[in-house]
Amino acid sequence: MSLVNMRKTVRSALAAALLGLIAFLPASPAVAAGTQIIYMNASGSDSAAGDSPATAVKTLERVEQIVAAGPADQDVEVRIHSGTYTAHQTIWQTYRPGHTISFMPDDYEIGGGADSIAARPVFQNAQASGSERYITGYWFYACAGGSLNSGGTSALRFYYLKVQYYSSGGISLDGSAGPCGGGYNPSSAPGQPSTRGLDGNTVFGMVFDSLGNKYTGGLCGDTDWPRCGYGGVVLTESSNNRIANNHFVNLRNTERSYIHAVYVTHKSSYNRFTGNNVTGVSSDPVKVRDGSNFNTFDANVFGANSFLRTSTPPAVHYLEEVNEDESECSSYHNRFTDNNLGIYLTGSSANLPTWYLNPAGATWAGATGCPPLPTGETRLTTANNTYN
């Protein structure tokens, strides 16, 4: 055989082998056919399809119905026209695993700033007929359900909306064992990571204004009219979230307690709270609780926050609290860094302290039965926080 023919034979054999190998390779995943867009308008109709501005729907409840019935292999963009949407708490339990569900102004393009939209859509709490009392609850309460009945990555994204006059707070992301909205039920043993979660969400460029019972009436302990604010954003067994570039303004309870800009609680870890502006919060602006680890609070601007009080724990910017009676464990490897800090709402000349651990102890593990903190870990690191 000539050298030329030998080379041809070798090339043919290699090509045949390569084709055989390709035949055994797994097929590439199918590419989703675009993004499902749902339109909202305060003058819309929930009997409409929501697939164009002319057929816009009116409520988030109707949006959820459309998402549930839609193609599971597409992202969702809920395009919201400017205006005021008056509604009580939305409980959300519909997701598309592997895809995002975004709520945004209809003229917003992801990546743009506040100056890229004409006006923020406003979501305002409803009042009960007859008594005209504001209804209890959050604006948006998301919990595990549907295709995420056992928890997972929910990938909800909120951009450049305004939320006001809700008694409990703005957004609650609850990945615990439920039932949905029925109180905390841990998914795992004390000190262990969540086995469920409602994770991977984004809250960006939002305005949370006038939340808590100071604005909605009632009291936290009132049996006749129970209203209590907990936070602008509340995370419960919810991890890997990004909360950035938001404004938290006037979050207050009459009792001067409870409510926070962000409340990271019960096994909520690896969250990032960055670039936010916080002012007028009647309790600790940041609170962390019960086995919530590796959270970062960085480069935020705090205005005048918290009432002057002499109780324990005192009012501070960052509070980590452990309830031993409920078998809670300490959190660890949290960072509160590079923040611009503020002063008391009361006009005191004293600066609001940076942090407080309750009970104290940089390496204290928590209630009886909690595992010790990992070797070399501490509950909190602070650095470069300044009073300007």
Provide the pLDDT for residue 348.
74
Whether 7 is covered by a domain: the verdict is no
pLDDT in tens, 67-89: 999 999 999 999 999 999 999 99
Provide the pLDDT for residue 42.
98
The domain containing residue 41 runs over which residues? Answer: 34-73
The SS3 assignment for 140 reads strand
Q: Let me know whether 371 and 340 are in one domain.
A: yes
* Domain final position from 73, 104, 138: 73
Q: Let me know whether 59 and 177 are in one domain.
A: no
pLDDT in tens, 3-27: 344 444 445 544 444 444 434 444 4
Mean pLDDT, rounded, of the chain: 91
Distance CA 102, CA 158 (A): 6
Distance CA 231, CA 117 (A): 26
pLDDT in tens, 59-69: 999 999 999 99
Q: Let me know whether 45 and 194 are in one domain.
A: no
Predicted model pTM: 0.91
pLDDT band at 312 (very low <50, low <70, confident <90, very high): confident
Distance CA 160, CA 58 (A): 18
Q: Which has the minimum average pLDDT: 110-119, 223-232, 342-351? A: 342-351
Q: How far is CA 348 from the centre of its chain?
A: 32
Whether 301 is covered by a domain: the verdict is yes
Provide the pLDDT for residue 108.
97
DSSP 116: G
Q: Let me know whether 188 and 51 are in one domain.
A: no
* Domain final position from 16, 49, 73: 73
Look at residue 359 and tell me whether its pLDDT is greater than 60.
yes
Provide the pLDDT for residue 319.
97
Q: Let me know whether 137 and 252 are in one domain.
A: yes
Say how many domains are in the chain.
2
List the end-to-end C-alpha distance of the chain, in Å, as a whole number.
Answer: 86
Q: Let me know whether 59 and 166 are in one domain.
A: no
